[in-house]
Structure 1
Amino acid sequence: MRPHHKFWPPRLPHAITPPATSLWQNLAISALRYPDKPAIVFFGTVMTWAQLKAAAERLAAYLQSLGVQKGDRVVLNMQNSPQLVVAHFAILRADAVVVPVNPMNRAEELKHYITDPDAKVAITTADLAGELARASDALPEGQRLQHLIVTQFTDAFDGNVEGNDAPPETWRDWLLTHHALPALAGGQVHAWKDALAFDGPLAEATAGPQDLSVLPYTSGTTGLPKGCMHTHASIMHNAVACALWSVATAETVGLVVVPMFHITGMVAVMHASVYAGATMILMPRWDRELAGRLISRWKVTNFTNIPTMIIDLLASPNFASFDLTSLKTISGGGAAMPQAVAQRLFDAYGLRYAEGYGLTETAAPSHQNPVDHTKQQCLGIPFMSTDARVVDPETLKEVPQGEQGEIVIHGPEVFQGYWKRPEATEAAFFELDGKRFFRSGDLGRVDEDGYFFITDRLKRMINASGFKVWPAEVEALMFKHPAIQEACIIATKDAYRGESVKAVVVLRPSHQGQVSEQEIIDWCRDHMAVYKVPRVVEFADALPKSGSGKVMWRSLQEAEAKTGVM
């Protein structure tokens, strides 16, 4: 028996046999079982399971009419909304592959998400459509999108909603403005309403467990983001396991505010909810007052989040007016939950904050704290059906309990490999005891109870409120600025986000004294997702370099750590 098994949630198996069906079947079955039950609530507008399935089938038929075939990749670029869920399952129903994209990405970044997966069709919201069209138009003719399906937020809710379900006043322009559809060079733009009014034929679904289902992208230490090939089976395993772990049933009501373009929101929340037939109360982005009102109004039982959301909610001046007594489980990850905040949550509501750990490559959790036996600032124990070890990063031999090494993972939730990147795939896996293990790139240790703790990073990465920022990607974008000769991205401490992005920049001689730190920051805001934008820019005469000419980013990082800047 493994040491962590004595803390295993009672009545749950250590390993599971997931359904040998496609992810689409989970929606079809929930619609069959609970046709009139709310599947999604969005600013007070309810969509039942039967309505969700019907909308996804109509959109799937429309996608097929545009030429989408089995295995084709379709870009999905949206904030949380009913349309995201409809589109995600429509792509799966058409036997195609979902390419979820962070809606914060700008045109320069979006080009890669069109060309790398060879996507010809994209689905987005009207506020983002112009950016996606600009990205496509800038590409060579044969690499552009052929079709862009565009929805307005008001396609999914009544803009006149009032009371506890109403959006914050500051969101009204964003949500209620009707944007004109952009032009698409060499392609067609389609209105969501027209796509959902389509009544053409829908071919039989043939995708099975081993077919690709989603291709989420992850960045790394070098180069452009890489697509992680997930089958229906790898996503299915964690959808079922997450539902079981959180004791989700058809009576579960989840507040869905973690983004569903991200692996955690997609798998641990959306797919788990669809499998269980649970109700999803959607928020397109975080707002503590709206979250407090929605938990109170809809008697939310499950809330997956990142710790900064809890910190923010507890700090609300209206906190005393919120009724959080319906909450049964509260969990999250992406960043460590401060001990004092976890204690306050427990003292006020008897809720233990259950942290988890996972990667895009592991379809969200590979580790999770048992709800009844949590440890704070801890990744948890290996998830259902999962074998996780700590190995020496050089020798790849397992290290003794308590010693630091690289966390490695084997299980049915692990991805197949990186899209079009056989060398990167080969470097990410190795064999141990006859099993294929994935190298996480995170350093950690295991305690005497079998709980895993993170100690450091093998990979160069910044964790800003759970958003992972890869310095190489930001540097590559910054080099496009005409004034920048060199740039090195490091982490700087941040009291609220944990870490923020800092750029150490060497200006070209021709531009010295001609450009300010703020102008560099403003340029970055126009060219990259906001969470990647440096909060601090520091000019330097030169960057430290090794004998081989490589930038010694670690020495800059160590110098920054000594300053203790908050």
Structure 2
Amino acid sequence: MNHAEQVPAVPERAHHRFWPKRLPHSIQTPRTSMWFNLEVSAQRYPDKPALVFFDQSVSYSELKHQAERVASHLQAKGVKAGDRVILLMQNCPQWIASYYGILRANAVVVPVNPMNRAEELKHYITDPDVRVAISAADLAGELAKASEALPEAQRLQHLLVTHYTDAVGAQPEVPSTWVAWLEARHPQPTLSAGDVSDWSEAMACTQALLPHDRAPEDLCVLPYTSGTTGLPKGCMHTHASMMHNTVAASLWGNGSSENTALLVVPLFHITGMVTGMHTGIYLGATTVLMPRWDRDLAGQLISTWRVTSWTNIPTMVIDLLASPHFNQYDLTSLAYIGGGGAAMPQAVAQRLQDAYGLKFAEGYGLTETAAPSHSNPPDAPKQQCLGVPFIGVDSRVIDPDTLKEMPMGEAGEIIMRGPSVFSGYWKRPDATEAAFVEFEGQRYFRSGDLGRVDEDGYFFITDRLKRMINASGFKVWPAEVEALMFRHPAIAEACVIGTQDDYRGESVKAVVVLRAEARGQVSEQDIVDWCRENMAVYKCPKVVQFVEALPKSGSGKVMWRLLQEKEADA
């Protein structure tokens, strides 16, 4: 393959006037698997802390050893090349060791949101045809419950379970509200169609590993994303698409082996996975892990470990700045701060710049684009802006109906192409076809987001074509919440919309029509409580409103947009 084929040309655009002079517009990425990045860093920096988790450091050689033991265990349990393996836990060293262990076993990672409940988890077992899973002990019972509710032929055959305390010392300093959660010992669940192992068993596995044989075009990870209709879809990312944004993000953020990054955005999410975990391991940097958000722990960790880089959701920065203990923390080590998922309020961005000289660099991306498809140049960011097309990305704004490019400043659908764009949706050729469009003879991914481009080539989001609620950076897809709510025996119809929230940006509201026999017997709070039992908490309606009927079009479709507009007016 020649150089021109490996590095697709990115046409010269207005934004290249603001492009960091140190960076090329496109890059040639290594023709190796993602596993190889850990192998290289473990040889280069064997004794260096790869991960910090409370009072414990995990060196690069130890992380590689743990990943190889996981791989050995998985192969002993029958995992073969190309098999999918569920990974379900909060941020912790075992998540990263398991991820790379799955890759070393030539298998494919299926990262799952730890907030999901049994009813939701069934889909992550059946859709990718998973037979083996790795889970944190506090979540393993819910996963086993989901498996047991399936027909025997579809159930899990093996479950590897770890406690968070497997990665901490005797007396870790943890927030008082976390002590019971982190230190709890959970009974091992049982699988009627398989067996369950403890983390210590995997770490003791000595079965010889089969050779690692993954090529760049092989499937690496299958993160799931929801959409306007139905259940979540698996996004097929190869080792090549993940490698591209791993290397690109490392360059973009001035990355080096001397970096120390705070990683609190969830690892199951594409941003935490790529710009958090993968870039750190590729660089041989140190990653300080937080299992959940806690503003004062974040302040302590940045101060103690002299954190140089922090990718976050803007609500985290707002929360940290509002801490009554904020003046005790030293943020002067930070050289890069940025993130996405929600707009950074201008006043907060200005406070960061005035106090620390830090320019908050907002970015934009989707699961389908391996996180950043757009990002603000760290040297020339604009506030309230998605940024410019990322390294190797060509992005345009088109009329969603005519597919013609929109003039500067006019809104249309944002489309993009580049080496980090996914191959398609798992087992969904129909959805894959609908997600791409041919434009100027090239295949572009349709983001479903409406935006505009200014005279400098920077992109701004204006609206969403897709129906989606953004709650503190968590994407909530109304169709998925509605599908879950319809399982409640009292609900005849439900329409889910977004409602304004001063802190989260948006929250979830459900407009519900009850079945006749349930009226007067079931309250709005009963519905809220049921939702909390049956779906991830960020998806749960904060408000339920009972109505006699939902507005419908002539074809019988619920007019959700009308309800959304009424809510906005209110």
Q: Please state which band the TM-score falls in when normalised by the shorter chain.
A: over 0.9
Query: Out of 10, 14, 31, which is 2:42 matched to?
Result: 31
In the TM superposition, 1:54-69 aligns within 5 A as: 54-69=65-80
Q: Where does residue 2 of structure 1 map in the other structure?
A: 13
Query: Out of 531, 554, 560, which is 1:524 matched to?
Result: 531
- Confirm or deny that 1:368 pairs with 2:379: no
In the TM superposition, 1:67-216 aligns within 5 A as: 67-161=78-172, 166-216=173-223
Q: Where does residue 408 of structure 1 map in the other structure?
A: 415
Query: Out of 295, 299, 302, which is 2:302 matched to?
Result: 295
Q: CA deviation at 1:229?
A: 0.3
**Which amino acid in structure 2 is aligned with residue 558 of structure 1?**
E
Q: Tell me the secondary structure at the aligned position of residue 451 of structure 2.
A: strand
Show CA shifts across 1:159-196 (max 9, x none): 412xxxx1101100100011111111211011011111
Query: Out of 242, 245, 261, which is 1:254 matched to?
Result: 261
- Confirm or deny that 1:355 pairs with 2:362: yes
- Confirm or deny that 1:304 pairs with 2:311: yes
Query: Out of 334, 338, 346, which is 1:331 matched to?
Result: 338
- Confirm or deny that 1:560 pairs with 2:567: yes
What is the Cα-based RMSD across aligned positions, in Å? 0.6
Q: Where does residue 551 of structure 1 map in the other structure?
A: 558
Q: Distance in 1 between matches of 2:212 and 2:197?
A: 24
Q: Where does residue 385 of structure 2 map in the other structure?
A: 378
Q: CA deviation at 1:66?
A: 0.6
Show CA shifts across 1:443-496 (max 9, x none): 000000000000000000000000000000000000011111100000000000
In the TM superposition, 1:344-493 aligns within 5 A as: 344-493=351-500
Show CA shifts across 1:273-292 (max 9, x none): 11111100000000000000
Q: Where does residue 272 of structure 1 map in the other structure?
A: 279
Q: CA deviation at 1:505?
A: 0.4
Q: Distance in 1 between matches of 2:169 and 2:480?
A: 40
- Confirm or deny that 1:20 pairs with 2:31: yes
Q: Distance in 1 between matches of 2:499 and 2:521?
A: 26
Q: How many residues are aligned here? A: 559
**Which amino acid in structure 1 is aligned with residue 509 of structure 2?**
K
Q: Distance in 2 between matches of 1:67 and 1:397?
A: 51
Q: Distance in 2 between matches of 1:420 and 1:48?
A: 39
Q: Distance in 2 between matches of 1:249 and 1:136?
A: 43
Q: Distance in 1 between matches of 2:433 and 2:488?
A: 34
Structure 1 portions without partners, runs of 5+: none
Q: Tell me the secondary structure at the aligned position of residue 361 of structure 2.
A: strand
The answer to whether the Cα contact below 8 Å between 1:12 and 1:244 also exists between their aligned partners in 2 is yes
Q: Where does residue 8 of structure 2 map in the other structure?
A: none
Show CA shifts across 1:284-316 (max 9, x none): 000000000000000000000000000000000
Q: Where does residue 314 of structure 1 map in the other structure?
A: 321
Q: CA deviation at 1:10?
A: 2.0
Q: CA deviation at 1:434?
A: 2.1
**Which amino acid in structure 2 is aligned with residue 86 of structure 1?**
A
**Which amino acid in structure 2 is aligned with residue 111 of structure 1?**
K
In the TM superposition, 1:219-258 aligns within 5 A as: 219-258=226-265
Show CA shifts across 1:116-137 (max 9, x none): 0000000010000000000000
After the TM superposition, which segments of 4 or more aligned residues of structure 1 sit over 2 Å from their partners? none
Paired-residue identity, %: 69
Q: CA deviation at 1:76?
A: 0.3
Q: Distance in 2 between matches of 1:360 and 1:185?
A: 34
Q: Where does residue 502 of structure 1 map in the other structure?
A: 509
**Which amino acid in structure 1 is aligned with residue 183 of structure 2?**
L
Q: Distance in 2 between matches of 1:289 and 1:399?
A: 46
Q: Distance in 1 between matches of 2:205 and 2:82?
A: 22
Q: Distance in 1 between matches of 2:139 and 2:259?
A: 32
The answer to whether the Cα contact below 8 Å between 1:226 and 1:418 also exists between their aligned partners in 2 is yes
Q: Distance in 2 between matches of 1:435 and 1:33?
A: 40
The answer to whether the Cα contact below 8 Å between 1:504 and 1:539 also exists between their aligned partners in 2 is yes
**Which amino acid in structure 2 is aligned with residue 465 of structure 1?**
S
Q: Where does residue 285 of structure 1 map in the other structure?
A: 292
Q: CA deviation at 1:400?
A: 1.1
Q: Distance in 2 between matches of 1:425 and 1:369?
A: 29
The answer to whether the Cα contact below 8 Å between 1:159 and 1:176 also exists between their aligned partners in 2 is no
- Confirm or deny that 1:537 pairs with 2:548: no
Show CA shifts across 1:312-352 (max 9, x none): 00000000000000000001000000000000111110000
Q: Distance in 2 between matches of 1:325 and 1:142?
A: 56
Q: Distance in 2 between matches of 1:185 and 1:510?
A: 38
Q: Tell me the secondary structure at the aligned position of residue 292 of structure 1.
A: helix
Q: Distance in 1 between matches of 2:65 and 2:170?
A: 23
- Confirm or deny that 1:43 pairs with 2:54: yes
Q: Distance in 1 between matches of 2:106 and 2:306?
A: 36
**Which amino acid in structure 2 is aligned with residue 442 of structure 1?**
D
Q: Distance in 2 between matches of 1:222 and 1:432?
A: 25
Structure 2 portions without partners, runs of 5+: 1-11
Q: Distance in 2 between matches of 1:489 and 1:2?
A: 40
**Which amino acid in structure 1 is aligned with residue 134 of structure 2?**
I
**Higher deviation after alignment, 113-122 or 397-406:** 397-406
Show CA shifts across 1:16-43 (max 9, x none): 0010000000000000100000000000
Q: Distance in 2 between matches of 1:64 and 1:272?
A: 27
The answer to whether the Cα contact below 8 Å between 1:254 and 1:280 also exists between their aligned partners in 2 is yes
Show CA shifts across 1:139-164 (max 9, x none): 00100000000001111001412xxx
Q: CA deviation at 1:11?
A: 0.8
Q: Distance in 2 between matches of 1:484 and 1:419?
A: 31
Q: Distance in 2 between matches of 1:414 and 1:355?
A: 20
Q: Distance in 2 between matches of 1:455 and 1:282?
A: 34
Q: Distance in 1 between matches of 2:170 and 2:342?
A: 35
Q: Distance in 2 between matches of 1:405 and 1:235?
A: 28
